[in-house]
Structure 1
Amino acid sequence: MPLPPDANAPSDFDFIIGDWLVKHKRLNARLAGCTEWTEFEGRTSTMKILGGFGNLEDNLLHFPEGAFRAAAMRSYCPTSGTWSIWWLDGRNPTALDTPVVGRFADHVGLFFADDFLDGQPIKVRFIWTARPGAHPRWEQAFSSDQGQTWETNWEMEFIPVGGGEG
């Protein structure tokens, strides 16, 4: 039985609550001048936690080399007005990725983190687009020059299970 939501909970991520078919497009190599992409599908299911001040996303990704599980956890800080997003890859279940932190404006969420790729410092950017009447979209990009340029390396489109609009 779900616990009741907090009356003051933010609604920024309400668009992603539920069950989704996900169309993935992933760049084959990151920050290597690669232009080849791999497309595959997945499933995801997201539910609210923390009285609506967070949510938990359970993922099944069907990579060409095999399926695996992952989870995203999001939490909202009312003091800063920002969301933090963590990723847990089922292939490495003892480590959470560095969280990206950001907020929504006009149905677009921008989230950033400083991280490392192959031992080199990078910036990470997530963009969530949740325009009314359109399927939600997410993209990830990396920058190796402190955010002067960005290479998008993963895109996802979320289609509600049942085929309706987001």
Structure 2
Amino acid sequence: MPTSSTQNLAAFAMLTALACTPAAAAEPPGYTLARQGDMHDFDFLGGAWTTVQRRLKARNTGSRDWEEFPAILCLTQYLDGIANVDELHMPTLGRRGLTLRAFDTQKRQWSIYWVSSPSGRLDPIPVVGGFQGGRGEFYGEDKDGDKPVKVRFIWESLDRDHARWAQAFSYDDKTWETNWTAEFTRADPARLCDQGRPRRS
């Protein structure tokens, strides 16, 4: 039988090994940076859309108070579909936003970047992912103020003329809080867009 000295050494070695083993990173449900898609995932979004936007007034507070406002989106494809740019015009807020999406043909994965008109800054870290069927999921990391968050975009192509988008943040690496949604209805690009951008009223 092993001596107490041998047992102590074995226990010490086991504790040392456990201490040196990195703990698995906490991740909210579904979070992955490995999700893949297809270069035609966003073909459905080309053209013009009217949208109803709903945004949570206060994030990470348990609030259920939403603001609702209209917006117009115009999207143009580039490079045979592996890149696209849309501009979102929010007239009642006096704001615009621009989304750049690029498809990595080797990783088979989309990267989605955002620029808002108030800051003019491109978010340096994209959400990445792709579609399976009519549903796309995209994940990444960002900061909400000074708080690190994990980010989730969900895109749904509901039918030819309707789509849905939702953004959620995870502050605790356990749960998601949806803080922005949009319902899309297809519209006439000749009426709403000018050279791929929402017309200025």
Q: Which residue of 2 aligns with 1:4?
A: none
Kindly tell me: are residues 72 and 103 of structure 1, through their superposed partners in 2, closer, same or farther at Cα, counting changes over 3 Å? Answer: same
Identify the structure with the greater strand proportion.
1
Q: For residue 141 of structure 2, what is the aligned residue in structure 1? A: 114
Amino acid at match of 1:155: T
Q: Partners in 1 of 2:102 and 2:129 — Cα distance?
A: 11
Answer yes or no: is 1:156 the counterpart of 2:156: no
- 1:54 lines up with 2:106 in the alignment: no
User: Is 2:153–2:168's contact at 8 Å kept on the other side of the alignment?
Assistant: yes
Tell me, yes or no, if the aligned pair for 2:115 and 2:122 is still in contact at 8 Å. yes
Residue identity matched to 1:59:
L
The alignment's TM-score, normalised by the length of structure 2, stands at 0.71
Report SS of the residue matched to 1:130.
strand
Give the aligned partner of residue 192 of structure 2.
Answer: none
Larger RCO (CA within 8 A; separation ≥ 6): 2
Aligned to 2:59: 30
TM-score by length of 1: 0.86
RMSD: 1.4
**Identical columns (%):** 37
Gapped runs of 5+ residues in structure 2?
A: 1-37, 189-201
Larger Cα Rg: Structure 1 or Structure 2?
A: 2
Rounded Cα–Cα distance in structure 2 between residues aligned with 1:119 and 1:70: 22
Find the residue that maps to 2:80 and give its secondary structure. helix
Secondary structure of 1:131's aligned partner? strand
Residue aligned with 1:15, SS: helix
Check conservation: 2:128, 2:140, Cα contact below 8 A: yes
